[in-house]
Chains A and B, each alone.
Chain A
Amino acid sequence: MLSRTADNLYSLARYVERAEYLARILEATQRLTAVPLDTAGESNEWESAVATAGCAHAFYAVYDEANEENVTDFLAFSTDNPSSIRSCFEVARTNARAVRTALTMEMWDAINGTWLELKRYGNGPTSREEFSRYLRWVQESSLRFDGSAYRTMLRNDAYWFTRLGIYLERADNTARILDVKYHLLLPAQEHVGGPLDYFQWAAILRSVSALTSYHWVYRESLKPWLVADLLILKEEMPRSLASCYENIVRYLDDIGSAYGRQGPSQRLARGIRTRLQNSRMDGIFQNGLHEFIQEFIADNNRIGQTITQQYLT
């Protein structure tokens, strides 16, 4: 297939996944701010939302303060922010239009329908209730896109590149969520195990739809190292780094065997997966969770670049 087509599919999937991630962050933040102020103390959830979205730099170039209004606008609706939810959907649709022929009717419907619906929301919601509905809708749109791709696409390179886009973005997102909360939570001297700590860890899990899974897997109250274990090492957890890399390796292998040739992407991906498989939680915490995550994000970026060089240009 054309390199440009593969690139478009890969980016399209990334943007849709990213829109969903932003909606999850905003939802979690909304929930965190519902904690009574005297419990929450001085913490600033909106600041952490911006950091988790990975766009603190761009944000503070426009705004002085991270409050509900500014952050909501910037992450969800701003046209100045190239990775606001709205921009993500816009770019996704432009990509989709450019590869109309590679999409199934259902996928096009999902992405075009989302884009048409987006216009209804205009520059923002009129109430908190409407904003909550909007965030649900964003996640449902992503689910619909994902589901129609899964159900209707031929299992060939077009499908594999689409999946790669999703898993690379998802791995990056999960890592960022863990990292920022690590900063936010662990330095607290006395609150570990306290109500705020509990709420914040619950919000993290909720933001990746993993709160219920946590209880099923560990059957105990929320512990930071167990949350990290779930989101980093548990292959059965669909958003965990291990699960993302299991998929990345698999789809790269599919591409490699269809094309009859393996390359640097395949080797790099297997290397990262092996490192995850050989890691233990106590080791990660001993060497520093933050360092581990930073290294992972760098690796994840590197594999993105390698895939681009090998296939997409």
Chain B
Amino acid sequence: MPVAFDEMNGADGAVRPAYSQLSAWLSEIRPDVLDYRRREAELVFRRIGITFAVYGEADAQERLIPFDVIPRILAASEWATLARGLEQRVKALNLYIRDVYGRRECLRAGIVPEDLVFQNPVFRPEMNGQKVPHNIYVHVAGVDIVRVDADTFYVLEDNARTPSGVSYMLENREIMIRLFPELFSRHRVTPVENYPDELLATLQSVAPNTAPGEPTVVLMTPGVYNSAYYEHSFLADKMGIELVEGRDLVVKNEIVYMRTTQGPKRVDVIYRRIDDDFIDPLAFRPDSALGVPGLMSAYQAGNVTLANAVGTGIADDKAVYSYMPDIVKFFLGEEPILKNVPTWRCREEDHLAYVLDHLEQLVVKEVHGSGGYGMLIGPAADKATIAAFRSKLKSSPKNFIAQPTLALSTCPTCVDSGLAPRHVDLRPFVLTGRDRVRIVPGGLTRVAMKAGSLVVNSSQGGGTKDTWVLAG
């Protein structure tokens, strides 16, 4: 495996400019300062109740995501390129989804194979020919980005359904400002706390044309037992909008109302953090107790905006991912600014043959998987695991893609033995409204807390860092 690029110490051990102040500060402070503030940070998180639930862990109903107090720093120029690339990519995602449920030009042109769309469980036939307000599907996107050297960023994954994690971006910053004021005074860090305002502006801008001047926006959550519930309540609070559950909403004559202490009140925009499958038991899963009967009919009548739109899963599927560079070119006529990780599609015979021959070196992922579940990391797996995976792969090659094991960049991280490099990724959040695209500089940096580990998912022990984008 190639040596990882360290974002502070570069490839040659010379401190990179963006990190010069941090590095100097780290050498000045007493060794116990970091440890002391680390514990302080944990106390604050626990007190505020920023927790998440891990499915399947009975004893750990509420857990803290480990927070690392060493910030991850990006230079202004690095961010400028990323931001342009993100805007381009999300524009393409929107055009592609509109096309899939509309004219299907990209399918006819052979850019994306038809069966990949139509046989995909997240494809929603209900959306065929359906107009959505202002033609926007992905109002909130989370694009996972990894870095392999000083100049190369790859998109690892697009999240076009209900991406989460933005509350950590905001709370991490809040805590860092509280714990390390002296460090902030040595840097010009671009703020992120305007994210909720930008999100609300985005949501208001996409209200149906029939909505009043000041549309009513709500955030819909599956409820307190959802792993991201804290984030839902946090965002609703910061935006000053109601946090509703399915049972708070009712549909009458294709119009959505919420039940209030003063009677029913009309709702125009629903920022829903609940999957397509569960939003309306009449349209999708009939056993869903979380949804609102009739919501889909109100949506189809154009009386309410759902953000994100129904059926966006067709854009963030890992199999579709490998076609993204072509999708960008097809819809925008531009070269993609952000690269994809080289990807083998096991559905194609020659790709499959290569993957089977090189399992020990590759990362193999389930096309519909998420959260780091159901994947094989070749170099880290023993023979038996690889053999088991090989037979799984052979029996349903279509369900898998494979990628080289990337040497994800590392950042200095506080661990028990002191500071040590740990692998990181980055999830910036891209907001698309009727008027424009908004991106708050930075995002959520996730860090694999175990030495050598490449898995940054919080469900598997990953932590987070504050992400600083320096002003130019």
Contact = CB atoms under 8 A, between A and B. Distances in A.
A113 B237 contact: no
Interface residues of B, number: 23
A203 to B, nearest CB: 37
A312 interface: yes
B237 A4 contact: no
B103 interface: no
Interface string B260-285: 11100000000000000000000000
B248 interface: yes
B233 A116 contact: no
A117 to B, nearest CB: 12
Interface string A292-313: 0000000000000000000111
Given A101-B237, A108-B49, A109-B47, A3 B259 contact: yes
Interface string B357-394: 00000000000000000000000000000000000000
A216 interface: no
B254 interface: no
B49 A2 contact: no
B11 interface: no
Contacts of B259: 2-4, 313
Nearest to A98: B224
Contacts of A61: none
B59 to A, nearest CB: 13
A2 B47 contact: no
Query: Which one of B223, B233, B247 has the highest number of Cβ atoms from chain A below 10 Å of its Cβ?
Result: B233
A2 B224 contact: no
A113 B46 CA distance: 10
Given A100-B233, A109-B47, A1 B224 contact: no
A260 to B, nearest CB: 9
Chain A residues touching B, range: 20 to 34
Interface string A1-31: 1111110000000000000000000000000
Contacts of B233: 97, 100-101
A157 interface: yes
A259 B244 CA distance: 21
Nearest to B223: A98
Contact of A1 (B48, B234, B247, B260): B260
Contacts of A1: 242, 260-261
Contact of B247 (A4, A5, A312): A4
A81 interface: no
Contacts of B262: 259
Contact of A4 (B46, B229, B245): B245
Interface in A98-115: 98, 100-101, 108-109, 112-113
Given A2-B242, A2-B248, A3-B248, A97 B49 contact: yes
B233 to A, nearest CB: 4
A312 B49 contact: no
B261 A312 contact: yes
A94 B224 CA distance: 8
Contacts of A112: 47, 49
A109 B47 CA distance: 7
A151 to B, nearest CB: 19
Contact of A101 (B243, B245, B261): B243
A113 B243 contact: no
Contacts of B223: 98
Contact of A6 (B48, B237, B244, B261): B261
A181 B223 CA distance: 43
A2 B263 CA distance: 9
Nearest to A158: B261
B237 A116 contact: no
Interface in B236-256: 236-237, 242-245, 247-248
B245 A116 contact: no
Interface string B180-196: 00000000000000000
Given A3-B261, A94-B224, A101 B248 contact: no
Contacts of A116: 46
Given A1-B261, A97-B49, A255-B261, 5 more contacts: A3-B260, A98-B223, A98-B224, A108-B48, A112-B47
9 contacts: A1-B242, A2-B259, A3-B248, A3-B259, A3-B260, A5-B242, A6-B261, A101-B233, A101-B236
Interface of B: 46-49, 223-224, 229-230, 233-234, 236-237, 242-245, 247-248, 258-262
Interface of A: 1-6, 94, 97-98, 100-101, 108-109, 112-113, 116, 157, 161, 255, 259, 311-313
Q: Lowest 7 A-B CB distances belong to which pairs? A: A100-B233, A101-B237, A311-B261, A3-B259, A6-B261, A98-B224, A97-B224
